[in-house]
């Protein structure tokens, strides 16, 4: 296959994927700090999505349902191939330590575990970068399609009705992540 065909194919996937996100999530609103957020929970609750979780430090093999029905959910979308995702890990660890059990806190990859990376390699990556919270897989990219903010790493806080209350992409500080989580917690308290 010619290089030009590959580049055209990848570009087409980006356009189709972006259009799909807009179709599913609508056009985002933007804060002065660049973060996107929902205007509240006027829409119908979103159907929950169940993902597989991996046995790794801070994580047990099993399933997690997003959104959690009893608390706010925070999702970090990452890839093991992504240098900024590695850079993000210390801030995620700090944020997780601050937030505790008040929030369902997880990191999710849509990498093809068993194909492009083995589960053992994923767990080793997680351990090497001090991951110590729930680790999930989204191989069909269903969760990613619903909540992904558009770049890696990407983070979203979700209320119990499944509405994104804050999302942003790129490397964030622990203070920025905690503020995004607090936005969703305030929405839940006000509901």
Q: Is the dihedral of CA 169, 6, 23, 67 positive or negative?
A: negative
Residue 157 backbone phi and psi in degrees, to 5: -110, 135
pLDDT of residue 43: 63
Q: What is the CATH number of the domain that holds 135?
A: 3.40.30.10
In sequence order, the β-bridge partners of residue 157 are 74, 166
pLDDT of residue 180: 95
Q: Examine the domain organization and report whether 12 and 45 are in the same domain.
A: no
23: containing domain: 1-28
pLDDT tens figures, 31-46: 434 444 444 445 677 8
Q: Examine the domain organization and report whether 12 and 60 are in the same domain.
A: no
Residue range 50-67: average pLDDT?
96
Q: Is 99 helix (H, G, I), strand (E, B) or coil?
A: helix
| pLDDT, the chain, mean | 83
In sequence order, the β-bridge partners of residue 137 are 52, 109
pLDDT of residue 102: 87
Residue 168 has pLDDT above 60, yes or no: yes
Q: How many CB atoms lie within 10 A of CB 36?
A: 18
Q: Examine the domain organization and report whether 37 and 131 are in the same domain.
A: yes
pLDDT of residue 17: 44
Residue 115 has pLDDT above 60, yes or no: yes
Domain total in the chain: 2
Q: Examine the domain organization and report whether 185 and 171 are in the same domain.
A: yes
Question: CA 128, CA 131: separation in Å to the nearest integer?
Answer: 8
Q: Examine the domain organization and report whether 168 and 184 are in the same domain.
A: yes
Distance of CA 97 to the CA centre of its chain: 18
Residue range 175-182: average pLDDT?
96
Q: 130: which residues sit within 8 A by CB, 6+ positions away?
A: 57, 89, 90, 93
Q: Examine the domain organization and report whether 79 and 111 are in the same domain.
A: yes
Q: Examine the domain organization and report whether 14 and 88 are in the same domain.
A: no
Between these two residues, 106 and 190, which has the higher pLDDT value? 106
Q: Examine the domain organization and report whether 73 and 144 are in the same domain.
A: yes
pLDDT of residue 2: 54
Q: Examine the domain organization and report whether 90 and 180 are in the same domain.
A: yes
**pTM of the full predicted structure?**
0.78
Q: Examine the domain organization and report whether 105 and 183 are in the same domain.
A: yes
- pLDDT tier, 28 (very low <50, low <70, confident <90, very high otherwise): very low
Q: How many CB atoms lie within 10 A of CB 5?
A: 9
pLDDT tens figures, 98-109: 997 889 999 999
Q: Examine the domain organization and report whether 71 and 153 are in the same domain.
A: yes
What secondary structure does DSSP assign to 43-86, as a single string?
SPPPPPEEEEE--BTTB-SEEEEES-SSSEEEEEE--TT-HHHH
- pLDDT tier, 6 (very low <50, low <70, confident <90, very high otherwise): very low
Q: Examine the domain organization and report whether 90 and 19 are in the same domain.
A: no
Residue 18 has pLDDT above 70, yes or no: no
Residue range 177-181: average pLDDT?
96
């Amino acid at each position: 296959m010619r290089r030009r065909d590959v580049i055209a194919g990848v570009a087409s996937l980006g356009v189709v994927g972006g259009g799909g996100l807009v179709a599913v999530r609508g056009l985002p609103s933007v804060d002065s700090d660049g973060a996107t957020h929902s205007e509240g929970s006027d829409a119908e609750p979103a159907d929950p999505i169940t993902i597989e979780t991996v046995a790794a430090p801070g994580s047990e093999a099993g399933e997690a349902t997003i959104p959690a029905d009893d608390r706010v959910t925070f999702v970090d979308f990452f890839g093991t191939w992504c240098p900024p995702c590695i850079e993000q890990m210390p801030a995620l660890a700090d944020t997780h330590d601050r937030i505790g059990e008040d929030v369902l806190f997880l990191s999710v990859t849509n990498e093809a575990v068993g194909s492009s990376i083995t589960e053992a390699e994923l767990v080793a990556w997680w351990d090497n970068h001090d991951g110590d919270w729930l680790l999930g897989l989204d191989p069909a990219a269903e969760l990613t399609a619903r909540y992904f903010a558009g770049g890696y790493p990407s983070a979203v806080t979700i209320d119990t009705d499944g509405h994104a209350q804050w999302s942003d992409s790129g490397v964030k500080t622990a203070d920025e992540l905690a503020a995004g989580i607090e936005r969703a917690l305030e929405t839940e308290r006000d509901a």
